[in-house]
Amino acid sequence: MKKGIHPENYRMVAFKDMSNGDVFLTRSTANTKETLDVDGVEYPLVKLEISRTSHPFYTGKSKLVDTAGRIDKFKNKYSKFKK
């Protein structure tokens, strides 16, 4: 590896999947102002919307979220084009 092109401030960081509450620790340089206590040790916290524990590709489960009847609105809007 080339010298001087990689960050030097790697530290343990807690990443939390907000959709299912899963927390995992890894080394990172991500900046954050929040912290999380894991097993009595305080780590910087990075919040994720989705991770390997909740993504349908990795879990094999597909979720259909119908907020405010989006599917019904779509069907009603384009029902006039049916043959």
* Confidence (pLDDT) at 18: 87
The HSE-up count of residue 31 (CA atoms within 13 Å, CB side) is 1
* Confidence (pLDDT) at 62: 64
What the block records as the tokens of 11 is: 């530290």
Residues in a beta bridge with 46: 15
**Helical H segments across 1-83, by residue range:** 56-59, 70-78
pLDDT in tens, 26-67: 999 999 999 999 999 999 999 988 777 776 666 666 665 656
Per-chain mean pLDDT for the chain: 82
* Confidence (pLDDT) at 76: 81
Q: 23 with 16: CB under 8 angstroms?
A: yes
How many helices (H) and strands (E) in the chain? 2, 4
